[in-house]
Chains A and B, each alone.
Chain A
Amino acid sequence: MTATLTRRGVLAAGTALAAAPLAAPAIAQGAPLKIGVITTLSGPGGYLGADARDALLLAAEMNDGRLGGVPVQFLVEDDALRPAQGKQIAERFLRNERIRLFTGIIFSNVLGAAAPDVLDAGGVYVSCNAGPSNFAGRECRPNYFVISWQNDNLHESAGALANIMGYRRVFILAPNYQAGRDALTGFKRLFQGTVTNEVYTRLDQTDYAAEMAQIRAARPDAVYHFHPGGLGIAFIRQYAQAGLLGTIPQVLPAASMDVRTLAAVGDAAEGVDLSSHWNSDFDNEQNRRFVAAFRQKYNRIPTYYAQQAYDTALAIGAALRGAGGTVDNTDAFRTAMLRADFPSTRGNFRFGPNQHPIQDWFALKVERVGGQLALVTKRKILENHADAYAGQCRI
């Protein structure tokens, strides 16, 4: 609703401006820089996009509506996890709103459809979540930046965690789409044991009974599964109902167990091990400020989707500051962006040669803190970890 209203408002304002004979000087008086936010706000993944949007808005609000000293305005639209819809929004933003700077996409399949349109039109895309492998290697693009992580990295860290936990035989599952395939590839890259089964579920699947039966029959040491948003809630609840919880432990990427999943899954999640690049309990100045502001404004703990979007806003701010407050000169914007001159909420952050992050990865565990279940950071798993595709990128 907010998205539509904002858009209406903008259209109305645009009409009013066009009606006035002195439309051009309005820009000189500091009309805000428009940033297109295409994100998933409905369906099982709906809260992921809502968290990203809320964090973007928060970042601007904390700086009086400015990023890098430039007044900004976010135009938010829902892609409903449909690649075609994401592509349409991108085209409309480019053509009607003349937007040059985009972010917000959560799901890799939507990014795969929408981002090329933005880049081909000379725009800039700064990813706050999706980091599919096909954009990280040979097909990397100069105006495409990823602030979150290259998809494989999250799952490589889970593979490394499985090694540390001493699991030898692991049953792995992910939805059958770009990020799901990246997930299983990533997990297998660093996992040193045997993969007993490799199962692809559907991105719109709600019932995992067939998979539960297969897991029971395979008797692995542990189960690794990548199921973001509502998928993960359904999967883990059914895992508990099938009686697997007490017998086969899970080792998860952060996507399958964020704070919202945790709240919905409840007690069944206690003791689960997972890997992440960030957690709300990180003890650095920037993160404390972000988490406190987010909790105060929205009355909930931010997920990592929110954290990544917040970092994305900071990165955009730093790049805008370095590029003279516009995205008109994309070379200047790029040079400024690659300096990563912003204090990341995750601490250690810099860009690799393919404009994807090089960062540390951590083990988290679901534990009781003061009676409440929470994600608690335990140890560092990987340090200054880059992705496997960086070498193939020639920019």
Chain B
Amino acid sequence: MALLLEQLLNGVQLGVTLFLLAAGLTLVFGIMGVINLAHGSLYMIGAFAAAWVAAQTGSVLLALASGLAAAAAIGMAIEYVMLRRLYARDHLDQVLATFGLILFFNQGITILFGRQPLFVNLPEFLSGAVEILPGVPYPVYRLVIIAAGLLVALGLYVLIQRTRIGMLVRAGATHREMVRALGVDIRLLYTLVFGLGALLAGFAGVMAGPVYSVNVGMGEQILILTFVVVVIGGVGSIRGAMFGALLVGIVDTLLRAYVPGLLRGVMDASQADMLGAGLASMGVYLLMALVLLLKPRGLFPAHA
């Protein structure tokens, strides 16, 4: 029971990390109609900026601020310099251009920081473990990630549903021409939305730094799962991204934890482990196929 609880927490923690990435991706995808493969690069940039500043200054707050600032600034620069010219083009052009950005950023980071993975040391007060149940210690930092991710989700909900900017974002997604006719600077709005998406990706990168290794190409590793989340949740829907991310995080973690054990009942241990690992890594894709079969537009389609 304690083990199940711990695995659920692990799933939720993976889920909120995916949510931070998926939220930006789904906004950009749903509102501007741009497939941004370079979203993972922004995650990497946030992680590297924070890791570097943390190593130089030792300050958590400075590291956090610089990670967010670097990702948001570079994100907005990408939108301003490049993506702006691609809105009217078809998806293949966008995919090619943003794929080019992945190569550009990976090579850039290699030149600046080298290929060796960086590692961020956690500050003392975050590095221990607390007992969530008697005899079940859980890393404090992972609890912090969960809390931060849920707070961001709440903040985004308020921002999108309750503020003027959010109203413009929603309107821009469904009635682009009408919003422009009413005198709103839609280009500025797009830059801001892209910057927000980049900021969230950078935040995910900053949070991931101390847990995973910070290395060139880290963005592509997680980007595929993020796309799965966006597709399951429904393109353009923040709510969908939230539920999709939690679903993917929990399903992936539980499958990895329990499938080999279940298979061991019916076959030889080492074969069960190998097959189980294979099934577990297929699991989220099977989930995606199932969701698409039942709800072709995702769980929470943005403009139903």
Contact = CB atoms under 8 A, between A and B. Distances in A.
B218 A206 contact: yes
Interface residues of A, number: 42
B106 interface: yes
Contacts, number: 124
B211 A264 contact: no
Nearest to A43: B217
Contacts of B230: none
B22 to A, nearest CB: 16
Nearest to A260: B116
Given A47-B115, A241-B122, A264-B213, A42 B127 contact: no
B6 A213 contact: yes
Contacts of B276: 200
| Chain B contact patch, size range | 35 or more
A187 to B, nearest CB: 11
A51 B134 CA distance: 46
A326 interface: no
A200 B274 contact: yes
Nearest to A213: B6
Contact of A176 (B114, B215, B277): B277
A50 interface: yes
A234 B211 contact: yes
B253 interface: yes
A209 B277 contact: no
Contacts of A46: 110, 115-116, 215-217
A206 B219 CA distance: 11
A166 interface: no
What is the predominant secondary structure among interface residues of chain A facing chain B?
helix
Contacts of A260: 116-117
Interface string A194-216: 00011111101011011101101
A209 B119 contact: no
A230 interface: yes
Interface of A: 1, 41-44, 46-47, 50, 80, 176, 181, 184, 197-202, 204, 206-207, 209-211, 213-214, 216-217, 229-231, 233-234, 237-238, 241-243, 260, 264-266
9 nearest CB pairs, A to B: A200-B277, A46-B115, A209-B10, A43-B217, A206-B212, A264-B119, A243-B129, A233-B213, A230-B213
Given A44-B117, A217-B3, A241-B142, 17 more contacts: A1-B107, A42-B106, A43-B221, A80-B217, A176-B277, A181-B274, A198-B269, A199-B260, A199-B273, A206-B213, A209-B142, A210-B10, A210-B257, A230-B117, A237-B210, A243-B137, A264-B116
Interface of B: 3, 6-7, 10, 13-14, 106-107, 110-111, 114-119, 121-122, 127-129, 137, 139, 141-142, 208, 210-213, 215-218, 221-222, 253, 256-257, 260, 269-270, 273-274, 276-278, 281
